[in-house]
Amino acid sequence: MAHVSGSPALDDMADITVHWLEKSRAQRLVWMLEECKARYNIKTYKRVNHKAPPEMREVHPLGKSPILTIQPPKQVRALVMAESGAIFEYLVDHYGPHLRPKRFQDGQESTLCGETESWLRYRYYMHYTEGSLMSLLMRIHTLEGAKGGNDSAELTLKHELSDVKIHLSFLESQLNSAPEAGLYLCGKDLTAADIMISFPLQVLQSTVGLEEYPGLRAYVARLTGRTSYKAAVEKAETASGERYGLV
């Protein structure tokens, strides 16, 4: 298990471990921890027949990547967390309030529909990424494997791929209309939602391609150009002893 140092100020607070499966969503969690300036370890796992190995189920019953364990000092039991969105929300609460937009417009605190556009987008994308976009990509992945002479799979695949175009056009227009003409999905500043969505966008870039979506292409380049993103890649490479590859 490689030990990765982050902010010295947080060093003594907790023992945080990312359970990192190769070529998985775990990479964006490493990036998230870098943006939070947290200190963490990376425990790497290799796929067995494309799946997560059984050892991951010893950490969390579902054994899906990523899992985050947090062992606070002087506490007997470690907190075991699964599901990227839930992990991200927890990290935002404790380490990264700067990665969540301000919730209410001035003077509208706690009022119905008083939320800022940035926050509404943030809430939406924290759910949309896994709920709508990743589930679509997973269906496509399964159908790609099933097609070969299977007419029904091929037809469904065609429909799902045309859905991808609808999603990409939507995301392109969302970027073009970001609050305060910002360069990130929720506005001027990077949020945890940008980190969440980076994974499916990178998958889409390397599969269907983003040639028709210049805004999205530039956005992905902006995300992956961040110092913290590059640091996360380097740390995962050091921990796994392998060159980082997503899909």
Ligand X SMILES: N[C@@H](CCC(=O)N[C@@H](CS)C(=O)NCC(=O)O)C(=O)O
> Which residues of the chain form contacts with ligand X (CB under 6 A)?
21, 24-25, 51-52, 64-65, 83-84, 130
Of residues 21 and 91, the one with the C-beta less far from ligand X? 21
Q: How near is the Cβ of 81 to ligand X at its closest, in Å?
A: 10
Smallest separation (angstroms) from ligand X to the CB of 146 = 17
Q: Please report, for residues 49, 119, 129, 134, the alpha-carbon distance to residue 240 in angstroms, rounded to integers and kept in the order given.
A: 18, 36, 26, 25
* Contact residues for 9 (Cβ-Cβ < 8 A; gap 6+): 37
Q: In 8-83, which residue ranges form alpha helices assigned H by DSSP?
A: 26-35, 55-59
Rounded least distance, CB 181 to ligand X, Å:
30
User: If residue 223 lies in a helix (H) or strand (E), which one and from where to where?
Assistant: helix 214-224
- Nearest to ligand X of 24, 69 (CB atom): 24
The total number of residues written for the chain in this structure? 247
Least separation in angstroms between CB 194 and ligand X: 15
CB 201 within 8 A of CB 194: no
Strands (E), 22-140: 40-45, 67-71, 79-82
Q: Which amino acid is at 15?
A: D
Closer residue to ligand X, CB minimum distance, 51 or 158? 51
138 vs 218, which CB is nearer to ligand X? 138
End-to-end CA gap in the chain: 23
- Which CB, 84 or 205, lies closer to ligand X? 84
Pick between residue 34 and residue 130 the one whose CB is nearest to ligand X: 130
Shortest Cβ distance from residue 47 to ligand X (Å)?
7
CB of 84 to ligand X, least distance (A): 3
* Cβ at position 223, least distance to ligand X in Å: 17
CA 201 remoteness from chain centre: 10
> Which residue of this chain has its Cβ atom nearest to ligand X in the complex?
84
Contacts with 25 (C-beta within 8 Å, 6 or more apart), sequence order: 65, 66, 84, 199
Q: How far apart are CA 54 and CA 141, in angstroms?
A: 23
CB closer to ligand X, 183 vs 246:
246
Distance (Å, rounded) from C-alpha 112 to C-alpha 99?
Answer: 23
